[in-house]
Structure 1
Amino acid sequence: MRYIWMLLLGLSFLIFSTGVRAMEIAPGLYKTVLGNGLTVIVEENHRAPVVAVQVWVKAGSAYEKDSEAGITHLIEHMIFKGTEKRKPGEIASTIESFGGSINAFTSYDYTCYYVTGPREILETALDVLSDAIFHSIFDPQELEREKQVVLEEMRMRNDRPALALAEAVMQKAYLKYPYRRPIIGYPETVKAITRKDILDYMARRYRPVHMAVVVVGDVNAEQALAKIASYFGNEPKLPPQVVNFPQEPPKKEPALVTLDRDVKEGYFHLALPGPSILKPEAPVMDVIAVLLGQGESSRLYQQLRREKGIVHTIYAYTFTPKGPGLFEVAGTAPPENLREAIKESLVEIFRLKYDPVLPEELEKAKTMVAADFVYSRETMQGEARKLGAFEILTGDPLKAKKYLEAIKKVTAAQIKEVAEKYFTPQAVVAGLLAQNVSQLISPEDLQVLVEEAEMEASGISPGMEHWVSPTVKKKLANGLTVLITPQKDVPAFSMALVFPGGLRFETEKTNGLFRALASLWTKGTLEKSADMLATLVESMGGEIAGFSGRNTFGLKGSFLSENLEKALSLFAEVAEKPAFSESELEKLKPELLAALARQEDDPLQLAIREFYRLLFAPHPYGLNILGSRDVIENLHAEAIKKAYEDYVAPSRGVLSIVGDVDPEKIMPLLEKYFGTWQKEAKPLPEDKEPEPLLEPKLSTINIDREQVHLILGFRGPSMFSEDRYAMEVLNAVLAGQGGRLFKTLRDEEALAYSVTSFLTLGINTGGIGFYIATEPAKKKLALSGLWREIAKVNQEGVTDEEIKRAKRWLVGRYITGLQTNMSQAMDQAVNEVLGLGYNYGLRYIQKIQNVEWEDISEVAKKYLENKPYVLVTVGPLED
């Protein structure tokens, strides 16, 4: 037994011929502690004839007293300003004569001095670094000169907006912990530092027991260890100096930092609490930072830069020191967008507490973090820095490897737990830097922004807290996205299963295909006839119907909650196993064609159809939403089956369920009835870009009616454009019985019974139309009236009272329209499929509320002033 124990000791420790006893803690990686307490780490790395020599000292700004703030950084400057045997400048010239480089950096927890160069530089580097660290003379004249250099550095940092803002936020992010002080210190403290102060600080912190020498490169470990011992082992052994850091208290309310500077750009910086490097949450927070704000596929970049276009740059990162850390988001934006940038960033941050991260998103983030670790090993200095940092902060250089292993094991559940723990609204620190920034936001405004962001992220919007329940979002193994919103007040529930499709993917040869598919979808399954299916559904007091629009199509259904499982089973069967029989299609065709006939009979519908044709053709939005008579008459079930195969797949769909359901109890049922639906999604056609409208387009349809119907319109913004919100408010100013068009053209001038405006929002285009129906004799006056009101909007704008009424009308109609379970289910599912997010409707209200007079003026000029227009006239020809 004793032999085996001695053998194990022999394998763990290597006693070199030089007498240095070191442990091989990993292949080629050695660690030992010299007699004076100094830690030595050597890694043999022969990928290049280069060596990195680094001396790490537990002497960061966190170890300073308030009165000596900046002394650590000043010492770093002074270390290379002369020793007992080397004059100022001689240290650098000695290293550079070998083709090497020498420098240093100071952080909150440590200072690092380093040399990198050809492998032959090893002994010279050790000699120079040990001499500088232990024998610098800190000449008083050099000290005064270097203080001036540091003061210049302060001025330089203050002139850099992003850096100045980051330091200001840091001071607010910590209430007591010394990380609140800038590493560089303050002008008054740096000016007051004396040579004695430096020597006293050096005596406290520059003790061998507080140091680690790290050598990585093309070296022989035995020789490197011996040389390190000879240059660093002779310093006297002193006990470690224990520092008791204050406990950082939790914050009670959001904090605002504003810096008013003469700059062109706007800058923003957010800070929230984060874990120490010693905490198990640290690897998780690193993954969160990548997921949210590193790379062009990150959430913040995609949402705030690509989708909303409100920022110019944005990124996220973690500060994981030995003490309490931070999670930070920073970026630049037009000053007028800073408020929105802060809020939307917080929405994305807070959303991690409520919505699970998708598997592919999580894997990408973990891969990116792991890649950083791997790439750091490409250089000797990168590997040395990793080993040194983990040694100083954790006491174990191998924690770097363990950290990487922890990164690879991060789960979606861990991300949610860490987000819930650290991302609390009251802990938000927000910094803004811009011209007249104090006019952009107040502490009270920030409080409101934070509350709104939290409510939006959780699925609750301002003014809707009491009647909108939090939505649970899940993804089944087959890729089907499921949204569950409990509403317990009525014993019923509704569900909507939505897919991308509809008019946007039709052509003249297939116009009406999706409407036929949606109508035929519920006319029987492979196991049940149309009559049997209808009987089963109605016997449960329910309904199932198909639907198709411009951008989506799918199924929807409502049932009593007592029939939950039977309803889910039947709905899943309809979704997955439709019959699409030829006989049922032939029975359906007369209904579809009859709707087309009714459209021909209604002059308003006829005018709208023609308006969209002129406004959008040859884009699919120019096709008839009801389809083409020729297409429907010649349609066969096989074409519908093919469309179903091409466009319906669980991984592309969203199933939203709203009503008297329990998310925990319904999930097993959804897995049972929908989780077995296996089908590969085929690529979708690309959404076609509309051709520009270059000249006016006019159309007259002569029908014998008593009124003439006019629609005058223009191209407008898409549903993804920020312009849509101002355009919606402008449309609401003009539309409705309380709108300007009705008041002026009907009530005051008696030109019409019906007059309004309407807005259409598509994937990549939109339109606004102005409609009036009048007697033929007043046609010219009516058209002139529409043009006059459009001109007044461009020239005079709208009033504050009109804007208030329009906003109330829009929000009121939206809220009123979401009273039923079905309306909520459809709203959530359609928005999720379109990429707006299931809770987009909640953000929509805030977007409408944020519209200002200037926004409306801008969109009016952009879309209505001197633009090619469309004019449709339907009615009798003039005599």
Structure 2
Amino acid sequence: MVGNHGTQGASFSVGLDSLSHALPQILRLEARGRRGYSSRMSYATVETIAGVPVVLRPRDEAPGVAAGLFYPAGSRYEEKNEHGAAHFVEHLLFKGTKKRSCKEISREVEGRGGDLNAYTGEETLCLHGRVPAGHGSELVSLLAEMALESTFPGDEVERERGVITEEIRMMDDQPAVVAGEALNALLWPKQALGRPIAGTIASVGGIPRTGLVGYWQRRIKGVRPVLVIAGGIPAQEAVRTAKKVLARSGRVKSKDPVRARRVASRDLCVTVVDKPVAQVNLAIGIYAFGRKDPRRHALRMLSVILGEAMSSRLFQRLREEQGLVYSVSSGAHLQRDDGVFYISAGLEPGNVGKALDLIAEELRELSAKGPGAAELKRAKDYATGQFALGLEGTTQQMFWLGDAMLTRGRVVEPKEAMEKLAKVDIRAVQAVAREIFQPGRIRLGAAGPGLTTEGLTQAAGSLAKL
């Protein structure tokens, strides 16, 4: 995801349903609130206010309040001639409303010791902030004002066009980003999912102000969002504030985006970007499944085992034993209707073939035998701690709740996610590995010096023979 002020919205990843054995107090749940308030303790409650789902997690002991407005308005909702519009609009929500200038918006929050930010992903545009306890109502009111009353001043549009152009140039100077974008284009050609979220210099330069205002009116102002308020604010105050600010919110349920379209192939497909840098950055993408698929829990364990920690197979083989890489990682990026399991690494050009051979060995081993019992337990224990730490603060809780409500239509309580992950066994992990680790599902992108498609295809021969 692309953040407004350099903050990556995707850096907080609590999806894929991690697990905790030793539940901290924050996760001890006694009830599963769905509508209204529960006299018993629950992780969060949901109120429908003016047609808008409002998720509340008040915590008297919290020193701050985090709030977010989540819209189904990410980049995959764009038409071809709108490439980059979602991210552009996100920036412009900070550039003035009917009541406040750009500078006054910043001072409204920073003058209370808080901060304000936003991010755009493929499916979500989120406007969010945090303030010390006692200022939650002002924060929520400001977020709603920015979302619903922005004015898109012409001079600000042009200045921000230049800012985003520099943001794109900055990302183009990061070979890992370039490799990832090349991979996305290979995975999802000729569709919004395969295009960079921020757009290109050409596409951003070609969107007129009227097009940006139109996108905002259709995808934000007129559409029903999800509002999340978490932290040190009384529930009654949060409800009163929500009723006040949401009275003018859109209530139309957003239409689903065009379904993701895979490109059928029986063989490994590769793409390269020749870039004069010291390392080759590899991005391997493997078609998996969507975020609602029950196999996502086994996929999470597969990712932890392969490359999410220092004890993972790829980290041990490629870095600790062979010294081929500084960093190697794995993960999953799941959309509503499809998803990708990925592996990334950066290394010296002469070691690309050897590294890909070792990666292929581990994929083949997991497909043939699955993980060991002790290995799976360690993976669950790792996910346990990461999950608990990930939900430690009110901002992280706000992101968790907003993402769940927007993408699944309900609050997913941590206990529920943990219970499902706890049931993952060796056979489930092996079954997912067998299904997805096939040459026809694998796409390989790379950015680095002297790369050719033919050369990378040859270096990836072991992946092509899985």
For the criterion TM > 0.5, the same-fold answer is: yes
Give the corresponding residue for 2:362: 348
Deviation at 1:404, TM superposition (A): 2.5
AA matched with 2:71: V
**Structure 2 residue 97 is matched with structure 1 residue 83:** yes
**Structure 2 residue 463 is matched with structure 1 residue 450:** yes
AA matched with 2:82: E
Give the corresponding residue for 1:150: 164
**Structure 2 residue 44 is matched with structure 1 residue 29:** yes
Is 2:290–2:336's contact at 8 Å kept on the other side of the alignment? yes
CA 1:446 to 1:401, structure 2 compared with 1: closer, same or farther past 3 Å? farther
**Structure 2 residue 67 is matched with structure 1 residue 53:** yes
Give the corresponding residue for 2:213: 199
1:147 and 1:173 map into 2 onto residues whose CA distance is 28
**Structure 2 residue 347 is matched with structure 1 residue 333:** yes
| Pairing of 1:655-694 with structure 2 (within 5 A) | none
Is 1:84–1:135's contact at 8 Å kept on the other side of the alignment? yes
2:101 and 2:272 map into 1 onto residues whose CA distance is 45
**Structure 2 residue 103 is matched with structure 1 residue 101:** no
| Pairing of 1:839-854 with structure 2 (within 5 A) | none
Partner secondary structure for residue 131 of structure 1? helix
| Pairing of 1:754-769 with structure 2 (within 5 A) | none
User: Among 224, 231, 242, which residue is 2:245 paired with?
Assistant: 231
Deviation at 1:426, TM superposition (A): 1.6
Is 2:144–2:245's contact at 8 Å kept on the other side of the alignment? yes
Partner secondary structure for residue 134 of structure 2? helix
**Structure 2 residue 332 is matched with structure 1 residue 318:** yes
Is 2:70–2:402's contact at 8 Å kept on the other side of the alignment? yes
Compare 155-164 and 200-209 and name the one that shifted more: 200-209
CA 1:337 to 1:440, structure 2 compared with 1: closer, same or farther past 3 Å? farther
**1:494-553 C-alpha deviation (Å, 9 max, x unpaired):** xxxxxxxxxxxxxxxxxxxxxxxxxxxxxxxxxxxxxxxxxxxxxxxxxxxxxxxxxxxx
Deviation at 1:260, TM superposition (A): 1.4
Partner secondary structure for residue 164 of structure 1? helix
Is 2:275–2:449's contact at 8 Å kept on the other side of the alignment? yes
Is 2:76–2:257's contact at 8 Å kept on the other side of the alignment? no
Partner secondary structure for residue 270 of structure 1? strand
| Pairing of 1:690-729 with structure 2 (within 5 A) | none
User: Among 59, 65, 80, which residue is 2:79 paired with?
Assistant: 65
**1:339-365 C-alpha deviation (Å, 9 max, x unpaired):** 221232122123221112111110111
| Pairing of 1:710-749 with structure 2 (within 5 A) | none
1:176 and 1:372 map into 2 onto residues whose CA distance is 36
**Structure 2 residue 309 is matched with structure 1 residue 295:** yes
Q: TM-score, normalised by structure 1?
A: 0.48
Can you give the 5+ residue segments of structure 1 that lack an aligned partner in the other structure?
A: 1-10, 15-20, 455-879
Is 1:38–1:208's contact at 8 Å kept on the other side of the alignment? no
2:222 and 2:57 map into 1 onto residues whose CA distance is 20
AA matched with 1:31: V
| Pairing of 1:119-134 with structure 2 (within 5 A) | 119-134=133-148
Give the corresponding residue for 2:52: 38
Compare 381-390 and 314-323 and name the one that shifted more: 314-323
2:453 and 2:77 map into 1 onto residues whose CA distance is 38
**1:449-489 C-alpha deviation (Å, 9 max, x unpaired):** 3234x2xxxxxxxxxxxxxxxxxxxxxxxxxxxxxxxxxxx
Compare 139-148 and 426-435 and name the one that shifted more: 426-435
Is 2:270–2:453's contact at 8 Å kept on the other side of the alignment? no
User: Among 382, 390, 400, which residue is 1:376 paired with?
Assistant: 390
**Structure 2 residue 450 is matched with structure 1 residue 407:** no
1:124 and 1:451 map into 2 onto residues whose CA distance is 56
**Structure 2 residue 88 is matched with structure 1 residue 74:** yes
Is 1:33–1:39's contact at 8 Å kept on the other side of the alignment? yes
CA RMSD of aligned residues (A): 2.2
Partner secondary structure for residue 51 of structure 1? strand
Give the corresponding residue for 1:419: 433
1:61 and 1:306 map into 2 onto residues whose CA distance is 39
Deviation at 1:311, TM superposition (A): 2.3
Deviation at 1:100, TM superposition (A): 0.2
Is 2:266–2:439's contact at 8 Å kept on the other side of the alignment? no
AA matched with 1:160: Q
**Structure 2 residue 398 is matched with structure 1 residue 398:** no
**1:347-393 C-alpha deviation (Å, 9 max, x unpaired):** 21232211121111101111222222211221100111111111111
Deviation at 1:119, TM superposition (A): 1.1
Deviation at 1:39, TM superposition (A): 1.1
AA matched with 1:125: L
User: Among 379, 401, 409, which residue is 1:387 paired with?
Assistant: 401
Partner secondary structure for residue 222 of structure 1? helix
CA 1:101 to 1:447, structure 2 compared with 1: closer, same or farther past 3 Å? closer
2:221 and 2:256 map into 1 onto residues whose CA distance is 12
Is 1:115–1:125's contact at 8 Å kept on the other side of the alignment? yes
1:137 and 1:210 map into 2 onto residues whose CA distance is 20
Is 2:187–2:262's contact at 8 Å kept on the other side of the alignment? no
Partner secondary structure for residue 204 of structure 2? helix
1:338 and 1:69 map into 2 onto residues whose CA distance is 33
Partner secondary structure for residue 161 of structure 2? helix
Give the corresponding residue for 2:179: 165
Equivalent pairs counted in the alignment come to: 435
**Alignment identity in percent?**
25
